Amino acid sequence: MTDKKPVKDFATDWDHTDPKWVNDPYPIWQDLRERCPVAHTDRYGGGWFPSTHEVVSAIANDTEHFSSRLVVVTNNKYPEGSPPAPIGGAPPITSDPPFHALARRLLLPAFAPGPINALEPQIRALCRRHLDELSGEQIIDAASQYAQFIPPGVIAHMLGFPSEDGEIFRDFVHVVLDLIDLSPEVRAPLFVPMGEYFDQQIADHVAHPRDDLTSYLLNVEVAGEKLSPEHVRGTMVLILIAGIDTTWSAIGASLWHLATHPEDLARLVNEPDLMPLAIEEFLRFYAPVTMARLVKDDMEFAGCPMKKDDWILLGFPAANRDPEAFEDADKFIIDRTINRHAAFGLGIHRCAGSNLARLELRVAVEEFISRYPVFELDSSKDVTWAQGQVRGPRHIPLRVPV
């Protein structure tokens, strides 16, 4: 990482890669909510961070004043070769209306509950296989030896990529989502291997079409025309990146919670009917995904003088901890029955993969606690959390029964 000045006041100089924010952002957001609900920074070329549910929701639903052209905050607001709005580099997440609806509609049927629920046996088998590999071990890393394997396996299957390529996907995710604070000249070359990998997969699917999402995207027609190659590739990259780190972060955070809250672990083991409520509370409390927007034109919004192309760091996780929107917002309540959380976003960009994410999270937790009805953190090693816009534990050292 580059050498940076530590943040003194997050209200006027926020930085989501500052170690304080990375380790424990919740008190920072609570403080901002109380004294400066929309914080500002000059870092990254200038931007705003709303910390209340009300403002996060207003921005997510206002595509007239805020663009999704870029959804990851970096030091470069005008990356070379990135298609302009309303399409952007990774449709539909980088698209604005009216193009967005078209790009999104293409994807939704494959991610609707019907086809997704059919994957359950396969996901369960994947989880069991990885648990089997850990048998006999007393100390395991629930992140790098379990959670991180589940989503890549599922995504490789959906896109029709070799199942053993999961390790490669991990590197791609790291470049796109973690290494955000590098200068554009250092960052750009890191994208080359990912580009080459996708070229190769696309060429293989053109030569040998098959029943998977890649072949579907290559062949689907909109108004009599196939999608542009940039669109196909952008959507594939999106699915790979959006489908992996997000979900393993959610699985990891949930297992970390259970390791540090034995009373919740015991309840979940003894009352499996609680699982649907518990899953929504894991998602609310440890919401892993923060997105970005760009301000379209100079304007005043929520009392702030916003400038064209200012970043907005759209903190769905912060919205989920707002006491105005949730009773006892800072308490994890495993059987919370009223839970309008925004972990999958709000408005037209609602996570297209939410049915899959929920399924993976539920099955991964179910299989883990059925194999290990008791487990605890191994205090000799540290739990580390990912920095950047997707938050989850990278390492969860656990002591498990043999």
Q: Which stretch binds ligand HEM (CB under 6 A): 18-26, 200-208, 258-266, 350-358?
A: 350-358
Which of 56, 268, 291, 369 binds ligand HEM (CB under 6 A)? It is 291
Per CB under 6 A, does 239 bind ligand HEM?
A: yes
- The Cβ-side half-sphere exposure at 277, using a 13 Å CA radius, reads 14
Report yes or no: 212 and 160 within 8 Å, Cβ to Cβ. Answer: yes
Least distance in Å: CB of 385 to ligand HEM? 15
Contact pattern from residue 89 through residue 108 relative to ligand HEM, giving x for each residue in contact according to CB under 6 A and a dash for the rest: ---xx----------x--x-
Q: Which is nearer to another protein, 156 or 352 (CB)?
A: 352
Q: How many angstroms separate the CA atoms of 181 and 201, rounded?
A: 29
Report yes or no: 249 and 282 within 8 Å, Cβ to Cβ. Answer: no
Give the residue from 293, 262, 250 showing the smallest Cα distance to 58. Answer: 293
Q: Which stretch binds another protein (CB under 8 A): 67-75, 101-109, 267-275, 294-302?
A: 101-109
Q: How many angstroms separate the CA atoms of 333 and 282, rounded?
A: 9
Q: How many angstroms separate the CA atoms of 373 and 400, rounded?
A: 9
Per CB under 8 A, does 249 bind another protein?
A: no
Q: How many angstroms separate the CA atoms of 41 and 15, rounded?
A: 7
Q: What are phi and psi of 132, to 5 degrees?
A: -60, -40
340 binds, among another protein, ligand HEM, none (CB under 5 to 8 A by kind): another protein
298: Cβ contacts below 8 Å, ≥ 6 apart: 305, 306, 307, 308
179: Cβ contacts below 8 Å, ≥ 6 apart: 187, 190
Looking at residue 380, the DSSP 8-state letter turns out to be: T
Give the residue from 39, 4, 36 showing the smallest Cα distance to 19. Answer: 4
| Region 139-198 residues binding ligand HEM, contact defined as CB under 6 A | 155
Contact pattern from residue 339 through residue 378 relative to another protein, giving x for each residue in contact according to CB under 8 A and a dash for the rest: xxxx-x-xxx-x---xx--x--------------------
Q: Which stretch binds ligand HEM (CB under 6 A): 79-87, 131-139, 171-179, 347-355?
A: 347-355
Contact pattern from residue 270 through residue 299 relative to another protein, giving x for each residue in contact according to CB under 8 A and a dash for the rest: ------x---x-------------------
Which of 71, 134, 176, 295 binds ligand HEM (CB under 6 A)? It is 71
Least distance in Å: CB of 290 to ligand HEM? 8
| Region 210-239 residues binding another protein, contact defined as CB under 8 A | none
Helix H or strand E segment including 48: strand 47-50
Q: How many angstroms separate the CA atoms of 17 and 181, rounded?
A: 8
Q: Which residues bind ligand HEM (CB under 6 A)?
A: 60, 68, 71, 92-93, 104, 107, 155, 238-239, 242-243, 246-247, 250, 288-289, 291, 316, 343-345, 349, 351-353, 356-357
Q: Which residues bind another protein (CB under 8 A)?
A: 105, 108-109, 111-114, 276, 280, 337-342, 344, 346-348, 350, 354-355, 358
